[in-house]
A and B are shown apart, each in its own frame.
Chain A
Amino acid sequence: MSLMNNLSTSMISSSSSTFLAPTSFNSSRTQSVSVPLKSINIVKCVATPQEQQNAYKTKVSRNANIAKLQAGYLFPEVARRRAAHLLKYPNAQVISLGIGDTTEPIPDVITSAMAKRSHALSTLEGYSGYGAEQGEKALRAALASTFYRNLGIEDDDIFVSDGAKCDISRLQVVFGSNVTMAVQDPSYPAYVDSSVIMGQTGQFQKDVEKYGNIEYMRCTPENGFFPDLSKVARTDIIFFCSPNNPTGAAATREQLTRLVKFAKDNGSIIVYDSAYAMYMSDDNPRSIFEIPGAKEVAIETASFSKYAGFTGVRLGWTVIPKQLLFSDGFPVAKDFNRIVCTCFNGASNIAQAGGLACLSPEGLEAMQEVIGFYKENTKIIVETFNSLGFKVYGGKNAPYVWVHFPGRNSWDVFSEILEKTHIVTTPGSGFGPGGEGFIRVSAFGHRENVLEACRRFKQLYN
């Protein structure tokens, strides 16, 4: 009983996950800065330590790459703002449409499987220790047959993980510091941040809000949120997320065919993030491997987070075809396997049991139902902003709504919305300079909270 209380927060919101960043960083050694510096459009939300004259210092230099990072990772920053807001308004009914955190309970068929596996670990026959680092065989097979049937992807091309975010960093470790990369602009911040950490980038250039040596592929309403590849410089790696976080745009077959050709012509590798594929309403490819030739140029990452509400359970996967080779002919999958065996030790066996249940007929049906629920939320939010006269994007193929606030600073809009309606969103500039002037509204939440939030939006913007 006390376990449940310990693991919950008492905040009224659509997301009840504990997300608070440790506040101990506000110790005497640090000064906490949480006010955006409006004049230069940069938000410094990270605590900046002061030099301690008398404190013992080691002689180990700080990693210069980490020093390049401008602020905290985006989502803990949003969480920090939310926490600060709650301190200011302790009775506010804050609604979280910021961090894309799932809110609906996991279907029984899935949790029962996880409970069963847990119990089994206490029995002689059911106990298992280390699993294969690449994932349990049955799960790899189920992933292949569920998502990649007839695409020529085999069980052992699939590597089960504890989530896409972790996989992105492991892929960066595979690639090393001597590769160049391109990202969509705006994009999920882990691609850029992991690239900085890995040492692939130059310094942050404040005037353009970009890191040196990264190719930012602008995605805007004007280009249908697909980059003009004729203007994109060659890079070794191209991160591409579709359906897209944060814009919600889903690339068409024709667009992805062009992307694959672009990669082929340039000898580049696409890292294709398909975490939201099951939210697709239109008839667009759900996997990059639907495009002929993609197996020689692409890696695909995916996740159970937004399908099965596994944001806390932690399960995902990465597909690396055998045909994907480095310039000297060495298979990329071999190096990834080495990283997986050395820098990782497999996803939790209990989570994997859950994953297998997700892919049973009953599990798939149950997941579709929950996804359908969030999609209905998305529809409500889209309609709300449409009715208020906003230019609204996304929301059809992804659980994110991308709302345009032309000419406005997105952190300002974020703050205004938070202050006036107690709704947490995510400022578009957190996803790159191409996100400036936009707000991302996520559609995860209990229905009544989403409806209430829409009521408040209508009040604010009418």
Chain B
Amino acid sequence: MNKLSACSSMACGISLQPKMVLASLRVRKQGNGRCTNVPRNVNLEKLQNNYLFPEISKRELQHLEKYPNAKVISLGIGDTTEPIPEQISLSMANYAHALSTADGYRGYGAEQGNQALRKAIAETFYKDVAIKDTEVFVSDGSQCDISRLQLLLGSKVTIAVQDPSFPGYIDSSVIIGQAGDFQDKTGKYQNIEYMQLGPQNNFFPDLTVTPRTDIIFFCSPNNPTGHAATRKQLQQLVEFARDNGSIIIFDSAYAAYISDDSPKSIFEIPGAKEVAIEISSFSKFAGFTGVRLGWTVVPEELLFSGGFPVIHDFNRIVCTCFNGASNIAQAGGLACLSPEGFQAICAVIDYYKENAKILVDTFASLGLEVYGGVNAPYVWVHFPGSKSWNIFAEILEKTHIITVPGSGFGPGGAEYIRISAFGKRKHIIEASWRLEKLFSKGKPLFNFLK
């Protein structure tokens, strides 16, 4: 697995070098012959660990080295496993072939994305909420868009995140210089507002006790908890943002997994266009985790405090720091949004949702507290009083199953484990069986938890 071997070549990110506070010295001493005289970016020094998912990969690799014959099942990193429907890959193959012809060759595309694809995205996902194709920016994926949005916003804005949340929001915030120092005691960055989510508040933050921040990252259906915010909850969120003059960055990467009538887009909420940006992705929708395609919607109505349209600056970032998503991937995206393509994709999503159901049922039948898995491909299991990295390690050691420890998503995840539902059905079933053996009454781990 390329991913694993790449990670093994990079040592753990914890620096063994003495920390030197260099600030913004204007006078620099000469280099000592071995090092340059360029100070390390203090923001990167603030990051506590490696990014979460390469860390999980590293653990998987170490485990495989320890047990070379183990049949490891990966329910950790949310990586899609099912082949892309044929008509979609055929489109991409045809597009690739066409690049060898005089008529079919294309060079630079519009940085904002191919016009037909922008239109198709607007019509497929935002038809009833009047988002224009010109407000849709095609990208190479949400992780990249999140960082481009941070570049757009700059270091002087404050952010709020759900706790737990996808680590890309916090890490990109630290990198751009918004986050302040990490506080070991709380496990939080000083300047970031962590909006706690839990069963006690139905996985929706109590906004009455949430201070104002400029930006609010909000993912629904949620990674890692799996909770999809209700219309009422999102109305509250939009009102909150409006009252505070904040901007919501709404991550709808898992909208296609919604089973009930929870909103699939923030723009279903009236007034959202003046307070929200929405990011989304073909990754979990179409199995494009390696193909790389996503989009961001920035409504024209969204204005900075001086009246300047946010879309204008985002366009500038996209034109300067990016050069468009791969045209072949975009051709694939267009095929995904054709009637046949969309139908084929929905079948794959149903497959993963069935996986999620199996996992939810497994944990529920064991009497464990299980959340999510209905509107998202993630199952969120609570082990009260535990430390999630310990549970992660126990599960890995005893069942050869990779999961993700909840604390990787923030202090709010400390007692939880995230199990992703991507995988071959037979592996999901096998994993369920192993977990049943591990957690049923009388087994050491069960007692360990008690």
- Contacts from A to B (Cβ < 8 Å): 3-4, 6-8, 15-25, 27, 29-30, 47, 49-52, 55-66, 69, 72-73, 75-76, 99, 101-108, 110-112, 114-116, 118-124, 126-137, 156, 162-163, 165-166, 168-169, 173-179, 190, 193-194, 197-199, 234, 236-237, 263-269, 296-297, 309, 311-314, 324-330, 334-335, 337-339, 341-351, 354, 444
Contact = CB atoms under 8 A, between A and B. Distances in A.
Interface centre among A6, A22, A51, A354 (most CB of B within 10 A): A22
The prevalent SS among residues of B at the interface is: loop
Using C-beta atoms within 8 Å of the partner chain, give the interface range for chain B: 35 or more
B36 A296 contact: yes
Contacts of B100: 105-108, 110-111
Contacts of A342: 51, 143, 147, 168, 171-172, 175
Contacts of B15: 330
B9 A156 contact: yes
B334 interface: yes
A122 B86 contact: yes
Contacts of B106: 7-8, 16-18, 312
B245 A60 contact: yes
Contact of A325 (B36, B92, B334): B36
Given A102-B107, A197-B317, A351 B2 contact: no
B364 interface: no
Top 4 closest A-B pairs, CB basis? A267-B37, A59-B245, A267-B31, A176-B41
B321 A118 contact: no
Given A130-B289, A314-B324, 17 more contacts: A3-B331, A3-B334, A16-B107, A49-B312, A66-B313, A106-B99, A114-B96, A115-B97, A122-B84, A129-B80, A165-B321, A197-B317, A237-B38, A312-B324, A328-B39, A339-B175, A349-B291
A127 B41 contact: no
B38 A179 contact: yes
Given A15-B107, A58-B247, A324-B36, A63 B10 contact: no
The prevalent SS among residues of A at the interface is: loop
Nearest to B22: A327
Contacts of A269: 36, 38
Contact of B309 (A17, A49, A118, A162): A49
A243 B147 CA distance: 31
B108 A127 contact: no
Contacts, number: 446
Interface of B: 2-3, 5-7, 9-11, 13, 15, 17-20, 22-24, 28, 30-31, 34-44, 47, 50-51, 53-54, 77, 79-86, 88-112, 114-116, 132, 134-135, 140-141, 143-144, 146-147, 151-157, 168, 171-172, 175-177, 214-215, 241-242, 244-247, 274-275, 287, 289-292, 300-309, 311-313, 315-317, 319-332, 334-335, 422
A150 to B, nearest CB: 21
B153 A111 contact: no
B8 to A, nearest CB: 10
B92 A350 contact: yes
A24 B140 contact: no
A144 to B, nearest CB: 13
Nearest to B10: A337
B122 to A, nearest CB: 12
Given A121-B291, A324-B36, A328-B20, A335 B320 contact: no
Given A22-B315, A66-B313, A58 B335 contact: no
Contact of A176 (B79, B135, B177, B328): B177
B289 A348 contact: no
A199 B154 contact: yes
B17 A166 contact: no
Contacts of A104: 105
B307 A137 contact: no
B73 to A, nearest CB: 15
A175 B247 CA distance: 27
A338 B35 contact: no
Contacts of B43: 176
A156 B2 CA distance: 12
Contact of B114 (A18, A129, A297): A18
B35 A328 contact: yes
Given A115-B96, A173-B175, A178 B42 contact: yes
B108 A99 contact: yes
Contacts of B306: 51, 57, 61-62
Contact of A327 (B38, B97, B247): B38
B5 A57 contact: no
Contacts of B97: 111-112, 115
Nearest to B132: A24
Contacts of B86: 122
